[in-house]
């Protein structure tokens, strides 16, 4: 079950380990990225692996929302997802340092506001 309420607002996402519903929003993504970075620095791969799908799920919902692909929100979600995919790949190799660096990149991307299209051209 999922609930969409618009850009930057919440969706419901099920937690695979407990079967409960977890409310995610843009602020929760930042908090989850912070938790992910901490667990990676501590070498806690299992806990880090459990956080990545929550973040990726939210980003996927944003990208599948039907918003304009050229919108700032969509570009930010895509860039953040690229970094999260890198975290996944590095976690699979047990490269916690590299995964932590990629998670920091994901957090920077999520916090960033890409320049408007006219300014980039």
pLDDT at 62: 86
Task: Decide if 23 is inside a domain.
Answer: no
Task: Decide if 2 is inside a domain.
Answer: no
Q: Comparing C-alpha atoms, which of 37, 32, 46 is closest to residue 92? A: 46
pLDDT at 72: 85
Task: Decide if 18 is inside a domain.
Answer: no
DSSP string, 46-95: HHHHHHHHHHHHHHHHHHTS---TTSHHHHHHHHHHHHHHHHHHHHHTT-
Q: Which domain holds residue 102?
A: 30-112
Output 102 or 4, whichever has higher pLDDT. 102
Tell me how many domains the chain contains.
1
Over the stretch 59-102, which tens digit does the pLDDT of each residue have?
Answer: 998 888 888 888 888 888 999 999 999 999 999 999 999 999 99
Local structure of 24: helix, strand or coil: strand
Q: pTM for the complete prediction?
A: 0.73
Q: What percent of the chain has pLDDT over 90?
A: 52
pLDDT at 116: 57
Question: Token pair of 102, please?
Answer: 């990629």
């Amino acid at each position: 079950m999922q609930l969409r309420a618009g850009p930057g607002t919440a969706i419901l996402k099920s937690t695979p380990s407990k079967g409960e519903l977890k409310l995610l929003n843009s602020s929760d993504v930042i908090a989850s990225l912070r938790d992910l970075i901490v667990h990676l620095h501590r070498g806690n791969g299992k806990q880090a692996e459990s956080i990545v799908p929550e973040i990726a799920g939210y980003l996927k919902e944003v990208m599948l929302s039907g918003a304009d692909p050229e919108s700032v929100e969509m570009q930010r979600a895509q860039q953040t997802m690229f970094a999260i995919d890198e975290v996944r790949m590095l976690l699979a190799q047990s490269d916690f340092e590299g995964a932590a660096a990629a998670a920091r990149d994901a957090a920077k991307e999520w916090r960033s506001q890409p320049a408007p299209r006219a300014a980039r051209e």
